[in-house]
A and B are shown apart, each in its own frame.
Chain A
């Protein structure tokens, strides 16, 4: 008997890997010190947790550990970069560029800067979710301070070509940021090859704890960013506040595990998702895949069910935990701005479900989910293209 509800919302958050919890527990219990207490061994032990995790995170993106700074998550990291860069460089270079499908926190932070008087250019994407590189090339100029392009889209899974983007961005002297919340630990990322200045990272998307993330910040220009949290000068003054060793150790362990299993997971995920997708599409040929079919994170499947209401379909598949879009917008009804950006009509956007498989998803669970989704669609009178 299969255990329900089946969790297929791994882009919203992921279950904690038991190995990660094991790495965290010593710091919740005996090594509870404040990592910034330099006068005694409790502090040193806690500080060591930070050092180890810094190497684990850096190892996964090809950067040096001293360029990794811990934050409370990707939202904080994205806010830090966008507001911090504009505060520092906005006077000389007043422009920010990002794409229309960025995560809400990138768009909101950029709009915050726009309200403060800076220029914001939001680039459109194609009907499969790709950024138009020639438009990017035309937009980036010597007035551009920052270009922020996400690595993998959270709703439709599309992977952006960061290496090519990096070449275009760096030719103009702008700084290059990527929100890698969905990509870190899932696909290879290399800050050197992609010429990245900033990378935002989240732990809870890779089977680590909620409440912790990191910002990779290239060392070259020490003035590239003004801090969002000021205070005791922790994290080399880039981010004040007592660092939480248990959470940070959790991020480090999650990164290490994800790195070690990255290739195998990519293959397994692709095989399982392909078979799941085939099952759905052969029973329901009118389904529409949202986002490019090839250049996407295989763990993400975003499909429109023509003629049906996504929320109603969710209600009819209660023992499967999927979503109709980004989690933070779950409470807000209305079509997803990401699906609108790839040209979906309101009807098609509102008929979409995001199905996200993860490390702990089994074939049995996917089979069960496919059967139940197909049955629910039939129960609702089938698709009406």
Chain B
């Protein structure tokens, strides 16, 4: 059987060949980066070199990069460790941010989005006026399910007027659009390696130089006391290589966007009752959330699986659960559309042939369900 076509890059993506090489070579070195002997110092040097690279991707200082086990840990660390008296989170945040907010033991305010999936700045102003200070605003850089890019610069500006801190979950944006933490004035940014072609099991909290961070994991005092636990040396090295590759290949996003747009144009040309969720917003170049009213997302996913194409209905972590997406609900979509959507996410390995195969399979599904 032919290899399936992978169109679920927002769930995870294949590690870059240079990453695999760097990870396996780092695996062969022995040494705990906290040990002072030669092998320990060598491991330390590998970690610090990677820190510089991840800092470059984020637009921050190397010493402000705190490595951890991934995006979920990073989000939990920020939401619980920033010392905020209240949290303002967007209605379309990743489950890790939503769940961390639930257990943070401070009041949580939900910032709504409009029908294109973009947060309401006027509502943010009202919430900032009401929320106990200091508030932490958490708005993702770009959404994982439908790709809408959020107005982070305006959010930061507004938050600063009220003395609030801002966190942005940039797990999906990294490597797809430029990030510049310092220029934006963000207090916290969180990243995951495996969404940018790095290994699974590693991520980072990036801080502004003055942002507080009470450690979620305490112990040996690694990462300047901000995250204890022996560093995942090989994982961190892979993250660094992936970060540099992502920066160098950021221009690839244009061709990925062309593929995505071509896919959408072809579907639209075939069916005028399909919906591109978030299509009116500025979006990640690789993401398309497509609703086919009347056909359950799971049914569609099964159809594509039989056709040898991997897509998802919503985010991976909740893809086992049968419920409509909180993101599409927040955008005001009725259940018949919210439950009839799939997420197609492309990457650097996606080809025109893949797009053609997807479009063909989609048209077959459409014609069958419309009884043509």
A333 to chain B minimum Cβ distance, whole angstroms, is 10
Report B-chain residues with C-beta under 8 Å of the C-beta of A19.
none
A13 touching B230 in the complex, CB below 8 Å, given contacts A37-B11, A209-B27: yes
A6 to B315, CA, bound (A): 47
A37 touching B8 in the complex, CB below 8 Å, given contacts A28-B15, A73-B230: yes
Q: Which of B37, B70, B311 contacts A242 (CB 8 A)?
A: B70
Report A-chain residues with C-beta under 8 Å of the C-beta of B11.
33-34, 36-37, 43
Report B-chain residues with C-beta under 8 Å of the C-beta of A296.
none
**Which residues of B are in contact with A by a Cβ distance under 8 Å?**
4, 6, 8, 11-15, 20, 23-24, 27-28, 30-32, 34-40, 68-73, 75-76, 94-96, 99-100, 102-103, 192, 194, 199-202, 216-222, 228-235, 298, 301, 305, 310-313, 315-321
A241 to B312, CA, bound (A): 18
Q: Which residue of B lies closest to A320 (CB)?
A: B37
B76 touches A109 (CB 8 A): no
B32 touches A39 (CB 8 A): no
**Listed A/B pairs (24) with beta-carbon separation below 8 Å:** A12-B32, A28-B15, A34-B194, A34-B200, A37-B319, A38-B316, A39-B8, A40-B4, A43-B319, A74-B229, A75-B219, A79-B219, A108-B218, A202-B230, A230-B99, A230-B100, A231-B96, A232-B96, A241-B69, A247-B199, A247-B201, A321-B37, A327-B230, A328-B222
A39 touching B311 in the complex, CB below 8 Å, given contacts A12-B35, A72-B68, A242-B72: yes
A112 touching B218 in the complex, CB below 8 Å, given contacts A37-B11, A211-B202: yes
A72 touches B39 (CB 8 A): no
Report A-chain residues with C-beta under 8 Å of the C-beta of B320.
36, 38
A89 CB-CB contact with B under 8 Å: no
A202 to chain B minimum Cβ distance, whole angstroms, is 8
Report A-chain residues with C-beta under 8 Å of the C-beta of B38.
5, 318, 321
Report A-chain residues with C-beta under 8 Å of the C-beta of B30.
7, 13-16
B34 touches A230 (CB 8 A): no
A231 to B216, CA, bound (A): 15
Top-10 shortest CB links A-B: A211-B232, A105-B219, A328-B220, A232-B317, A244-B201, A231-B96, A241-B72, A72-B69, A230-B99, A75-B229
A58 to B293, CA, bound (A): 46
**Complex interface residues of chain A between 224 and 239 (CB less than 8 A to chain B):** 226, 228-234
A39 touching B305 in the complex, CB below 8 Å, given contacts A12-B32, A210-B234, A229-B73: yes
A331 CB-CB contact with B under 8 Å: yes
B198 to chain A minimum Cβ distance, whole angstroms, is 10
**Which residues of A are in contact with B by a Cβ distance under 8 Å?**
5, 7, 9, 12-16, 21, 24-25, 28-29, 32-34, 36-43, 71-76, 78-79, 103-106, 108-109, 111-112, 202, 204, 209-212, 226, 228-234, 240-247, 314, 318, 321-323, 326-331
A34 to B315, CA, bound (A): 11
A109 touches B35 (CB 8 A): no
Report A-chain residues with C-beta under 8 Å of the C-beta of B28.
15-16, 21
A71 to B14, CA, bound (A): 22
A328 touches B218 (CB 8 A): no
B138 to chain A minimum Cβ distance, whole angstroms, is 13
A236 to chain B minimum Cβ distance, whole angstroms, is 11
Q: Which of B24, B228, B319 contacts A328 (CB 8 A)?
A: B228
A295 to B146, CA, bound (A): 59
A25 touches B24 (CB 8 A): yes
A65 to B190, CA, bound (A): 32
B40 touches A12 (CB 8 A): yes
B316 touches A43 (CB 8 A): yes
B20 touches A29 (CB 8 A): yes
A322 to chain B minimum Cβ distance, whole angstroms, is 7
A36 to B72, CA, bound (A): 14
A43 to B318, CA, bound (A): 13
A204 to B33, CA, bound (A): 12
Report A-chain residues with C-beta under 8 Å of the C-beta of B233.
210-211
Q: Which of A39, A79, A245, A247 contacts B217 (CB 8 A)?
A: A79
Q: Which residue of A lies closest to B317 (CB)?
A: A232
A229 touching B76 in the complex, CB below 8 Å, given contacts A242-B317, A243-B200: yes
Q: Which of A78, A231, A241 contacts B219 (CB 8 A)?
A: A78
B242 to chain A minimum Cβ distance, whole angstroms, is 12
B35 touches A75 (CB 8 A): no
A10 to chain B minimum Cβ distance, whole angstroms, is 9
B219 touches A109 (CB 8 A): yes
Report B-chain residues with C-beta under 8 Å of the C-beta of A314.
36-37
B230 touches A331 (CB 8 A): no
A327 touching B34 in the complex, CB below 8 Å, given contacts A33-B12, A39-B311, A232-B72: yes
B220 touches A41 (CB 8 A): no
B33 to chain A minimum Cβ distance, whole angstroms, is 8
A175 to chain B minimum Cβ distance, whole angstroms, is 20
A13 touching B32 in the complex, CB below 8 Å, given contacts A5-B37, A104-B220: yes
B221 to chain A minimum Cβ distance, whole angstroms, is 6
Report B-chain residues with C-beta under 8 Å of the C-beta of A104.
219-221, 228
Report A-chain residues with C-beta under 8 Å of the C-beta of B218.
79, 105, 108-109, 111-112
A246 touches B37 (CB 8 A): no
A14 to B39, CA, bound (A): 11
B37 touches A241 (CB 8 A): no
B200 touches A245 (CB 8 A): yes
B219 touches A210 (CB 8 A): no
B96 touches A330 (CB 8 A): no
A71 to B217, CA, bound (A): 12
A28 touching B319 in the complex, CB below 8 Å, given contacts A79-B219, A211-B201, A246-B200: no
Report A-chain residues with C-beta under 8 Å of the C-beta of B69.
71-72, 76, 211, 241
Report B-chain residues with C-beta under 8 Å of the C-beta of A331.
34, 36
Report A-chain residues with C-beta under 8 Å of the C-beta of B4.
40-42
A9 to B43, CA, bound (A): 14
A318 to B230, CA, bound (A): 23
Report A-chain residues with C-beta under 8 Å of the C-beta of B37.
5, 9, 314, 318, 321-323
Report A-chain residues with C-beta under 8 Å of the C-beta of B12.
32-34, 37, 242
Q: Which of A37, A231, A244 contacts B100 (CB 8 A)?
A: A231
A242 touching B94 in the complex, CB below 8 Å, given contacts A39-B313, A209-B27: no
A189 to B14, CA, bound (A): 37
A209 to B234, CA, bound (A): 8
A105 to B7, CA, bound (A): 41
A323 touching B35 in the complex, CB below 8 Å, given contacts A39-B311, A40-B305, A233-B95: yes
Q: Which residue of A lies closest to B320 (CB)?
A: A38
Q: Which of B8, B102, B230 contacts A75 (CB 8 A)?
A: B230
A40 to B313, CA, bound (A): 11
Report B-chain residues with C-beta under 8 Å of the C-beta of A75.
217, 219-220, 228-230
A9 touches B32 (CB 8 A): yes
A232 to B102, CA, bound (A): 13
A244 touches B96 (CB 8 A): no
